[in-house]
């Protein structure tokens, strides 16, 4: 009975993750300073990976560094988009902007200064990754980072890009 309940809960969770619409919550582009709705940064018909991070989060920085190092090779295999969103408070906006610039990030990076998007997506901790399918729906979520974990993310990207 317990296994049956666990299987039903897993199926329900998987279905609810895939059915989740993207929030229209406003975030701020750290390169331009303009506000934009989260759902508007996701291009229709493309797989998008969104890394949530914070300036104080060492595993976040390590994950983004490892992903950004792999991006050129990954993009030779699969065409997808990659963006990051800082969950730092408004007063740390300059620190987040400077960090992205100092790291040479060529991908878009944003900030969720009041944690409105974080609340909309209902997650607690960073690093947090979303993989959004071509249909514009959340296909995969992951919290935490272990060295090499980016390989699992790439496998999800490849599966969704087919």
Give the helix ranges, DSSP H, for 20-142: 58-77, 93-102, 116-121
Residue 16 belongs to a domain: no
CA distances from 87 to 40, 46, 96, 114 (A): 18, 24, 9, 8
Residue 7 belongs to a domain: no
The band of 9, judged by pLDDT with boundaries at 50, 70 and 90, is very low
54 close to 60: Cβ distance less than 8 angstroms: yes
Summarised one tens digit per residue, pLDDT across range 82-128 is: 999 999 999 999 999 999 999 999 999 999 999 999 999 999 999 99
- Give the domain extent around 142: 21-161
Report the relative pairing of strands 109-111 and 128-132 from DSSP bridges: unpaired
Residue 9 belongs to a domain: no
Q: Supply the pLDDT for residue 5.
A: 44
Number of separate domains in the chain: 1
Residue 67 belongs to a domain: yes
Summarised one tens digit per residue, pLDDT across range 48-95 is: 999 999 999 999 999 999 999 999 999 999 999 999 999 999 999 999
Residue 82 belongs to a domain: yes
Task: Report the CATH number that the domain containing residue 128 is assigned in CATH.
Answer: 3.40.30.10
Residue 5 belongs to a domain: no
């Amino acid at each position: 009975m317990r296994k049956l309940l666990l299987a039903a809960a897993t199926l329900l969770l998987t279905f609810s993750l895939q059915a989740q619409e993207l929030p229209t919550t406003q975030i701020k582009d750290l390169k331009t300073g303009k506000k934009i709705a989260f759902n508007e940064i996701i291009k229709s018909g493309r797989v998008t990976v969104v890394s949530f991070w914070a300036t104080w989060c060492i595993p976040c920085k390590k994950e983004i560094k490892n992903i950004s190092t792999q991006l050129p090779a990954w993009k030779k295999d699969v065409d997808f988009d990659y963006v990051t969103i800082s969950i730092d408070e408004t007063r740390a906006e300059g620190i987040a902007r400077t960090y992205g610039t100092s790291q040479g990030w060529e991908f878009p990076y944003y900030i969720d200064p009041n944690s409105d998007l974080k609340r909309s997506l209902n997650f607690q901790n960073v690093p947090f990754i979303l993989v959004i399918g071509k249909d514009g729906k959340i296909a995969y979520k992951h919290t935490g980072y272990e060295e090499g974990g980016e390989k699992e993310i790439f496998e999800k990207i490849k599966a969704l890009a087919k």
